[in-house]
Chain A
Amino acid sequence: MARIVLDRIAHSYGVNAAGVREFALKPLTMTWNKGGAYALLGPSGCGKTTLLNIISGLITPTEGRVRFDDRDVTEVPTEQRNIAQVFQFPVVYDTMTVAQNLAFPLRNRGMSAAGIERRVQDIAKRLELDTCLGRRAQGLTADVKQKVSLGRGLVRPDVAAILFDEPLTVIDPQLKWMLRSQLKHLHRQFDFTMIYVTHDQTEALTFADQVVVMHEGDVVQAGTPEQLFHRPVHTFVGHFIGSPGMNIVPAAVAGDRAIVNGLEIGLGRAYPTLPAAARIELGVRPEAVAFSADGRGHPVTLERLDDLGRYRIARVSLAGCTLNVLVPEEAEADLSGGEPRIVFDPDRVNVYADGHLVEGEAR
């Protein structure tokens, strides 16, 4: 296992029609600790796959250096990097059995037959593959194949990091839960460095200790799932994480009050010095808005109500702004009649200037 250091990495696939070099990945510096679980999250084309390929060695970055511990691996080819990778579509050697698949990377590295046998048995047991070791890989279901390809990485004692490229894409939702929890469990047992690329926030957030949100080649925010959820540093992160995403409402802010189309909303922090001429917005999670039962709060009109079983999503209009409100199952709010009112949790209302989070001052 290794610590991975990305030192001013940037990558360009070439110049555009106007002759300007276009960067698929803009300069970034980052250190990933040994034994950590990291997720690269973002929409397609955000540069996450480029970054993954730079770490695996399939791409040499245009600029910057990659180091595994203290070894500079920027120009080291994939096969000498001690990394393993699980791909979007399961890659198994069809003509081999599960056991032969697992043994393959060890055989190629010249491990003794007894050693191979021991490792394969051990990994198979941990992945719950021990019952199908003798089966040919071809006929297996997608989730088992994916475990086999993960196993080919885990089985190697020398692996510095395991990379995952949207590995659950072809897995049914119910099986995703099983695979995901197994993966997490394995990570706790082995303590290897794992890097997981996905566009699915649930996968990223549940998997990683540290999630790196990317957008148009830039790292927008790197943080724990909690940080990303409660204090997104950019409205893009607020929108991208959460389902539905954060409500973003244009507002004017003075001190610890915000004015949204004439309505006053209390804030948990004070903002005495907001940049002049900046576009000011409030960011509020649907989870931080509630319908009030006692007549307090702001009157809204209910536009739509979706029942998702364990909660409902109410789409309301507040002084001309549309907001999503998440209504938990246990909140027996009756929204069928009357004039609903909503209240904000002041501590969970963020203020953004030109899309960037403003820290504010504790009151």
Chain B
Amino acid sequence: MEKRENQKAWLMILPVVVVVAFSAIIPLMTVVNYSVQDIFGPNDRVFVGADWFLAVLNDRRLHEALLRQFLFSALVLVIEVPLGVLIALAMPRKGIAVSFSLVLLALPLLIPWNVIGTIWIIFTRPDIGLLGHTINSLGISFDHTASPFDAWITLMLMEVWHWTPLVVLLAYAGLKAIPDAYYQAARIDGASAWDVFRYIQLPKMRGVLTIAILLRFMDSFLIYAEPFVLTGGGPGNSTTFLSIYLVKLAVGQFDLGHAAAFSIIYFLIVLLFSWIFYQALNTIGTGDRR
């Protein structure tokens, strides 16, 4: 009797297995397949072993893209996490103001990614954009299509505007979960606002901030749509991040083997760093100092 029930259970998860197979495992296997072959046509392919992987590892442009990518993700984390926490701390805790600020914060999160790119193209245009025109009329030359520095500034502004609200929402949820007694105890102990932050709020927010950092790292490391729409990877290669380079390889040059090997390495990097962040954040502040 037990055995029959078990088989039924397998049946129940079959739809999920099928969906996961089509959405993840089969594409992934295809990529693995491509990464070890050189493909000239549908029926014309040669097994090349680890050649593509070696090529990827020696690709100078890819190294540059990877460096750029790390710089970008690092900037995102360094700016968005503290900024998000700061905003969360400054948010109202009760009353109608809470709903109002939450809705306001959530707005950027509701806009499709490519639309965001378009909005910022217009916003920063030196001729008609509100931001671009204002800066230029102040006598500062600003054009993200010409200057790599300006392109980065624009991209960072857009990224921070778009995603800091997510960090704020998570941090705010963490703050709200702290019982009042902690704040009362801190007042009684004569703690300063900084002490309250350092010894109560930050430790109590650790869980949600771990999630925020992981999400922001993974997401920023995989960024594609926004720079593609805003700068197309330029000027030059200055905003060509890994995804953009990958698409250029795969779609632009139809270098499927190269791109496939690249994807796998890319995937492993994201996995590795996510794991490192997770481990690090879980150990910080939990070890028993004896």
Contact = CB atoms under 8 A, between A and B. Distances in A.
Interface in A86-102: 87-89, 91, 93-97
Interface in A47-103: 56, 58, 77-79, 83-85, 87-89, 91, 93-97
Nearest to A96: B199
A149 B18 CA distance: 55
A336 interface: no
Given A88-B181, A138-B286, A93 B188 contact: no
Nearest to A139: B288
B187 A79 contact: yes
Given A135-B288, A136-B289, A138-B286, A79 B190 contact: yes
A109 B192 CA distance: 11
Contacts of A91: 179, 181-182, 185
A198 B31 CA distance: 66
Contact of A105 (B181, B189, B287, B289): B189
A14 interface: no
A95 B189 contact: no
Given A134-B290, A136-B289, A79 B199 contact: no
A78 B184 contact: yes
Nearest to B285: A95
A350 to B, nearest CB: 40
Interface string A289-321: 000000000000000000000000000000000
A108 interface: yes
Nearest to B204: A94
Contacts of A136: 287-289
A134 B289 CA distance: 7
B191 interface: yes
A87 B290 contact: no
Q: How large is the interface on A (under 10, 10 to 19, 20 to 34, 35 or more residues)?
A: 20 to 34
Contact of B181 (A87, A96, A97, A108): A87
Contacts of A109: 190
User: Chain A at the B interface: mostly helix, strand, loop or mixed?
Assistant: mixed
A82 to B, nearest CB: 9
Name the residue in A91, A134, A136 with the highest tally of chain B Cβ atoms < 10 Å from its Cβ: A91
Interface in B178-230: 179, 181-182, 184-185, 187-192, 195, 199-200, 203-204
Contact of B191 (A56, A95, A104, A138): A104
A89 B192 CA distance: 22
Interface in A187-201: none
A215 interface: no
Contacts of B285: 94-95
A357 B184 CA distance: 40
Interface string A323-363: 00000000000000000000000000000000000000000
A85 B185 contact: yes
Interface residues of B, number: 22
Contacts of A84: 188
A152 interface: yes
A108 B192 contact: yes
Contact of B188 (A56, A94, A96): A56
Contacts of B184: 56, 58, 78, 85, 87
Contacts of A94: 203-204, 285
Contacts of A85: 184-185, 188
A189 B189 CA distance: 22
A49 to B, nearest CB: 12
Contacts of B288: 135-136, 139
Given A56-B184, A93-B199, A108 B190 contact: yes
Contacts of B188: 56, 78-79, 83-85, 105, 153
Contacts of B203: 93-95
Contacts of B290: 134-135
Contact of A89 (B179, B190, B287): B179
Contacts of A135: 288, 290
A75 to B, nearest CB: 15
Interface in B138-183: 179, 181-182
Given A134-B289, A139-B288, A89 B195 contact: no
A206 to B, nearest CB: 24
Interface string B105-130: 00000000000000000000000000
B179 A152 contact: no
A338 to B, nearest CB: 57
B189 A108 contact: yes
B286 A105 contact: no
Nearest to A110: B190
B228 to A, nearest CB: 43
A110 B266 CA distance: 53
Given A89-B181, A95-B285, A136-B288, A108 B187 contact: no
A134 B204 CA distance: 21
B24 to A, nearest CB: 38
Contacts of A56: 184, 188
A136 B283 CA distance: 14
Query: When A and B form their complex, which 5 residue pairs have the shortest distance between CB atoms, in order from nearest?
Result: A108-B190, A87-B181, A105-B189, A91-B185, A93-B199
Interface of A: 56, 58, 77-79, 83-85, 87-89, 91, 93-97, 104-105, 108-109, 134-136, 138-139, 149, 152-153
29 contacts: A56-B188, A58-B184, A77-B187, A78-B184, A78-B187, A78-B188, A79-B187, A79-B188, A87-B185, A88-B181, A89-B179, A89-B181, A91-B181, A93-B199, A94-B203, A95-B203, A96-B199, A104-B189, A104-B195, A105-B188, A105-B189, A108-B189, A108-B190, A108-B191, A108-B192, A136-B289, A149-B185, A152-B189, A153-B188
